[in-house]
Chain A
Amino acid sequence: MSPVIRLFQMIIRYHGRRLIVGYAATLGAAIAGLAIPRVLGIGIDRVLNPENISQGRGPLLLLAGTIVLLGLSRGLFSWAQTFIGEGISQKIAYRIRNDYYDQLQNLSFAFHDKQTTGSLMSRATADVEAIRMFVNMGAVRSMLIVLMLFGAAIAMLMIDVQLALVTLAFVPVLLFRAIITSRRLRRLWLRVQELTAEMVATLQENLTGIRVVKAFAAEEHEIKKFRLRSQAVARQTFLAQSTWARNFAIMNFAFMVVMSAILWFGGNRVIDGREILNGQFVYLGLTPGELASFFVYMNMLIMPVRMSGWIVNSFSRASSSGQRLFEILDMKSPVEEASDAVDPGRATGGVIFDHVSFTYDGVNEALQDINVVVPAGAVIALVGRPGSGKTTFAHLIPRFYDVSEGRILVDGRDIRELTLDSLRRSVGVVQQDVFIHTASIRDNVAYGYVDAPMSDVIASMKIAQLHNFIDDLPETYETVVGERGVGLSGGQRQRLAIARTILLDPPVLVLDDSTSSVDVHTERLIQQALDEIIEGRTTFLISNRFNAIAQASEILVFKRGRIVQRGRHDELVNVPGEYQDLYASQMRPFEEARSAALKIERTENSD
């Protein structure tokens, strides 16, 4: 369905009554506006006729009063129309923003992997704004344009058919021109936007990479590069603006040519139709007042004709913007809750992978025929090189993605039979790339459990070995962290993420700490935290740290989407294979460094 029709349906469904009132107000404003030139014309004819002198100023005052009243009512109707149009448009924008936010929150990881924040944001800002403008201008105010054009045409035809036809002959041509031009202008301005985006990208690269620029003394090079982009923007802007200027001037000129035609043709019609009576002219054909009305009507038509191109533009903008938005709003998440999903309560934590295969792109299998049985409370270490499938494996358990083949069971139930809420309450995930919200530390810890009592928050921060650090901050738990707050180090962020998950007390835990390389002190803190939280939970651990892996009840060794080895550390380390290679290249150096450190510490203590 066309996005524009869909928007109209939205307006009618949610604001149908308001829209009718808006149209009524528009009609009122149009009628009052169209009456004014006519009343002025009547006034002019009245003062031209000497017979009226005897009636004194009474009728003139009446006319004047009518003009003021018409002005006032046009103002009131316009006010109502503006208010209603703005109101509907803001309410529709509000609704779309909420739906969009909700949809983004619930679309699965597969969707977010492919999108950039920038393009999702530009939909929420530029596209929603285009739709808002369309609802206000295209759907509500366009009625005013239509009414004014037809109303003025009818009013002129009623006064003098011949003169009206001469005058109105120009209007379709001008309308056509206005629409064509605004299309052309839109393309020119889109190009300006593209060039501006390129310029901004160059600027952003320059600023984020300023160290490179400084290190290579490349300032002149960068200035040249930016200058090229900036010149392109200036040139295209000038092209767009001068095209606009030419059309604006031509449009005005065309209107004024019609005015001179009215003056010549209409003036002669008045002269031809008059007769002398008692030494005075009597106007039997077109009267001077009616001629004056024509002039004023022409003046009134300039605005709607010029706006018409704009309105047509707002339709096509709404159509492309609407398409971009509805495309996302209509998207079905690949991870959907079954209609008869159940909430079995707190899980014990047994996890089974039954012939599980998975692909991100439908072509390459990221996991192939995985079979694992994990009893409740076991600690499973997942090891492998980057891209071997260990993170994918972990992300399937809370259904961040759905398996392509096979099934995953938690406590003997296929996870697709559970409500997402209950599944994710059972499976806690500490991700490797920790996201900190711009909020207080307390709110960040209580992210998944908003009403958590402060004592629980503190308790989980103590387990995560972060409480002492927070307690030393001047504002302790109320300290604002995140992008616009105090920065935390990598180790601190990770421990905060651990605290955040512990607070939820999940029976199954997925810990991803593969990329964190931290110093010995921090590592010790994290290890202590891990030891405490692993207790009593089924744990999946992705780590390079030897001593974390060594305590696992089973190690799963991943290579190209398959589990190639499994067993305990001492069973695997002496067998040639993937595990031994990994151990030699990634874990042993750390291990050696650790023991060296311990040795030195011991010597120092004995000194």
Chain B
Amino acid sequence: MTTNSNRKTHAPRGLNGNMDEIFLGNVLDITVVRRLLLYATAYRGTTIAVALGMLGYISAVVAQPLIIAWGIDGFITAKPGDVRWGNLGIVSLIFFADTLLLGVSQFVQFRSLSRLSTNILYDVRDDMFTHLQRQSTSFFDHNEVGRIMSRVQNDVLALQEWMELSIPTAADVVLLAAIIAAMFVADTQMAAIALAPAPLMILAMFVWQRRAKPTFIRIRSAISVVNANLQEGITGVRVAQSMNRQPENLRRFDTLNKTHRDAAVHGGFLSGMLMPPIEMISMTSVALVVVFGGLRVYDGALEVGVLFAFVMFLLRFFEPIRLMTMEFTQFQKAMASGARIFELLDIEPDMHDPLAKENLPEIQGHIEFKDVTFGYVPGIPVLKHINLVIEPGESVAFVGLTGAGKTSLVALIQRFYDVSEGQVLIDGVDVRDVTRTSVASQMSMVLQEPFLYSESVRANIRFNHDWVTDEEIETASRAVGAHEFIERLPHGYDTLLDQRGANLSMGQRALVSMARAIVSNPRILMLDEATANMDSDTEHQLQEALRVVLKGRTSLLIAHRLSTITGADKIVVLENGNLVEIGKHQDLLDQRGVYARLYAMNFGEDMEDSA
């Protein structure tokens, strides 16, 4: 579907354009976290398991150095004659038990965490997809597929990475607190001394973070520029070769590539920069423990095992802090992603079913436009005061230049959009008074460019009509003349189509899409004729198929071909959103008005009304 590029510039309900991929949010965005927690409430059991696992893990980790200290002080370096309860065997067994606790709780923690995060992400994705399906057509007119894709794909992925990191990180924070508490309980003075350099570390990381952030943003945007350029190089390679542009292209690519390389090398320099201060500060803590602890051991005020436990604690202490700095950017990225996801989920569909949820009863196919005015943008109508009655079984052709309003008019019948003024009635019922599904499911549409899915031919024809039998699919295919070529495909009706049906010819795709349109036997059929050139055989086949599918239904054609138009019961001529002429082919020709002129021009260009 081609969209009118001018209209994209003022997207009234579009996704926020400047929230680019490289944008970073806060480290912790309360609204985002709260909404995610809402998802977690559905999985209370798993959440509790994560918490229990975390608790078990932390206690096991904190207990380890203390058990070793007990072993050392109680039995290995105890003064001769200093008899205590137990023996080294018991201590080793307790250590082993602690180990078991550690292993099991870590497993429980990570596994439940994974269950929780995959469940939440599944729910988020599902909500997004469902929400997108609920949006009206105008939402998709204003938002590029690429941008929506990146919401569902990249942003959810960023959230996934965040969840995988954030809960272990939360566990690390609790672990830090537990280690601090354990040290203070073991020996207050020593704990104070050991932890004295820690604020320096936090300061160092804070300063580093400030300095490094712009570089990391620069690297990210540089690589996306490199890739965009590469992609353009690939898609435009034919022009480049025919114009000998390769050396110039390479020169430009090299400049961008170099910019990224230099930024990335600088990024490597910055990543490593934090290592010397961190190592020095953490080893200073250890050294302080050795000196002050050592002197106190001399005094007999401290046992050597406790001293060693402090060293073990400290070696554990600084690792999580270091990891957290590395994850900083990841967190910010995820928060920005989360904000974008919820922004999408918060967009209200601009079209609603009536509260009563009444369905349109089975229809005859009578259509009436009552003084309909419609515009995509308020104040700029593309259809003005249209009055039109179409009887059941009639075939009506709509003609007019590009932008005359043909496509918009047909779109209103399916309720792709709501009218600004007036009413669209089907069998006397205003389409806004019944559910959209009940309206749309009683009519079918054949689009200008047949859109097929990468599924079997059978699934493509059946599409959403689950109740349709295989026999009915074959009947529909025979009716449009598609059965023969389908049978000749490698697996007949079960042949899988490539993306967009690329393994079929243009004409074959059109035939399959016609079979899809009639398989549910709709009362109203809308058809946007293809403009692309086809060879005459295919052309003839399509005309033949068209004759079959239109028979006995109310049919609306956005026509580009003389033969289809001349056969119509009624021709509706639109000009600048006004219905200017209506009648049969010969009568209209005789009027020598708009239609006669259009006819002469042969409706050359795609007269597609770019909606």
B165 within 8 A of A: no
Q: Which of A120, A212, A244, A246 has the most CB of B within 10 A?
A: A212
> Could you say which of A74-82, A357-365, A464-472 contacts chain B?
A74-82
Contact check, A67 vs B283: say whether CB atoms are below 8 A apart.
Answer: yes
**Partner among A70, A124, A231 whose Cβ is within 8 Å of the Cβ of B283:** A70
A60 — which chain B residues lie within 8 A by C-beta? 290-291, 294-295
Contact check, A205 vs B499: say whether CB atoms are below 8 A apart.
Answer: yes
Return the chain B residue nearest A300 by Cβ.
B315
Q: Are A71 and B280 CB-contacts (below 8 A) given A263-B71, A424-B242?
A: yes
B228 — which chain A residues lie within 8 A by C-beta? 438
- From residue A227, how far is it (CB to closest CB) to chain B in Å? 6
Contact check, B76 vs A291: say whether CB atoms are below 8 A apart.
Answer: yes
Interface of chain A, main secondary structure: helix
Return the chain A residue nearest B414 by Cβ.
A215
Return the chain B residue nearest A434 by Cβ.
B239
B24 within 8 A of A: no
Q: How many residues of B contact A (CB 8 A)?
A: 151
> Could you say which of B29-37, B103-111, B421-429 contacts chain A?
B103-111
**8 A Cβ contacts from A321-339 to B:** none
Interface string of B79-91 (1 = CB under 8 A from A): 1100000001101
> Could you say which of A2-10, A94-102, A157-165 contacts chain B?
A94-102
**8 A Cβ contacts from A227-286 to B:** 227, 230-231, 233-235, 237-238, 241-242, 244-246, 248-250, 252-253, 256-257, 259-261, 263-264, 267-268, 270-271, 276, 279-281
Q: Which of A57, A263, A428 has the most CB of B within 10 A?
A: A263
Interface string of A47-63 (1 = CB under 8 A from B): 11010110001001101
A67 vs B315: C-alpha distance in the bound complex, in angstroms?
13
B174 within 8 A of A: no
- From residue A539, how far is it (CB to closest CB) to chain B in Å? 15
B526 — which chain A residues lie within 8 A by C-beta? 215
- From residue B249, how far is it (CB to closest CB) to chain A in Å? 6
A329 vs B499: C-alpha distance in the bound complex, in angstroms?
28
A205 vs B595: C-alpha distance in the bound complex, in angstroms?
38
A98 — which chain B residues lie within 8 A by C-beta? 250, 253-254, 257
- From residue A593, how far is it (CB to closest CB) to chain B in Å? 3
Return the chain B residue nearest A100 by Cβ.
B230
Interface string of B292-335 (1 = CB under 8 A from A): 01110110000010011001100100000000000000000000
A264 vs B71: C-alpha distance in the bound complex, in angstroms?
9
Return the chain B residue nearest A430 by Cβ.
B242
> Could you say which of A196-204, A310-318, A372-380, A569-577 contacts chain B?
A196-204
B284 — which chain A residues lie within 8 A by C-beta? 68, 71
Contact check, A63 vs B290: say whether CB atoms are below 8 A apart.
Answer: yes
A288 — which chain B residues lie within 8 A by C-beta? 72, 76-77, 304
A112 vs B242: C-alpha distance in the bound complex, in angstroms?
14
B345 within 8 A of A: no
Contact check, A91 vs B95: say whether CB atoms are below 8 A apart.
Answer: no
**Partner among B113, B118, B279 whose Cβ is within 8 Å of the Cβ of A78:** B279
Q: Are A267 and B304 CB-contacts (below 8 A) given A50-B298, A248-B106?
A: no
B451 within 8 A of A: yes
- From residue A66, how far is it (CB to closest CB) to chain B in Å? 8
Contact check, B533 vs A515: say whether CB atoms are below 8 A apart.
Answer: yes
A420 — which chain B residues lie within 8 A by C-beta? 244
A40 vs B295: C-alpha distance in the bound complex, in angstroms?
15
Q: Are A596 and B599 CB-contacts (below 8 A) given A90-B264, A201-B454, A245-B114?
A: yes
- From residue A543, how far is it (CB to closest CB) to chain B in Å? 12
Return the chain B residue nearest A276 by Cβ.
B80
Contact check, B132 vs A517: say whether CB atoms are below 8 A apart.
Answer: no
B38 within 8 A of A: no
Interface string of B533-558 (1 = CB under 8 A from A): 10110010000000000000000000
> Could you say which of A103-111, A166-174, A178-186, A347-355 contacts chain B?
A103-111
**8 A Cβ contacts from A279-309 to B:** 279-281, 288, 291-292, 295-296, 299
Return the chain A residue nearest B251 by Cβ.
A450
Contact check, A44 vs B304: say whether CB atoms are below 8 A apart.
Answer: yes
A581 vs B76: C-alpha distance in the bound complex, in angstroms?
105
A437 vs B601: C-alpha distance in the bound complex, in angstroms?
32
A16 within 8 A of B: no
B39 within 8 A of A: no
B257 — which chain A residues lie within 8 A by C-beta? 94, 97-98, 101
Interface string of A204-223 (1 = CB under 8 A from B): 11111111111111111111
Return the chain B residue nearest A53 by Cβ.
B298
A476 vs B499: C-alpha distance in the bound complex, in angstroms?
39
Contact check, B600 vs A245: say whether CB atoms are below 8 A apart.
Answer: no
A86 vs B215: C-alpha distance in the bound complex, in angstroms?
15
- From residue B43, how far is it (CB to closest CB) to chain A in Å? 13
**Partner among A47, A93, A450 whose Cβ is within 8 Å of the Cβ of B293:** A47
- From residue A65, how far is it (CB to closest CB) to chain B in Å? 7
A550 within 8 A of B: no
A105 — which chain B residues lie within 8 A by C-beta? 233, 237, 240-241, 246, 249-250
Ordered by A's residue number, 27 sampled pairs between the chains whose C-beta atoms are within 8 Å are A48-B304, A71-B282, A78-B279, A105-B250, A200-B149, A203-B129, A213-B133, A216-B445, A217-B436, A221-B463, A223-B133, A256-B95, A257-B96, A267-B72, A267-B88, A280-B79, A280-B80, A288-B72, A288-B76, A386-B533, A421-B244, A428-B242, A490-B605, A518-B605, A519-B601, A585-B536, A593-B599
For the complex of A and B, 6 pairs with smallest distance between CB atoms = A86-B268, A71-B283, A448-B243, A75-B279, A487-B5, A253-B103
Beyond the given pairs A76-B276, A216-B464, 5 more chain A to chain B contacts, judged by CB atoms under 8 angstroms and listed by A's residue number, are A47-B290, A105-B233, A203-B129, A234-B122, A522-B604
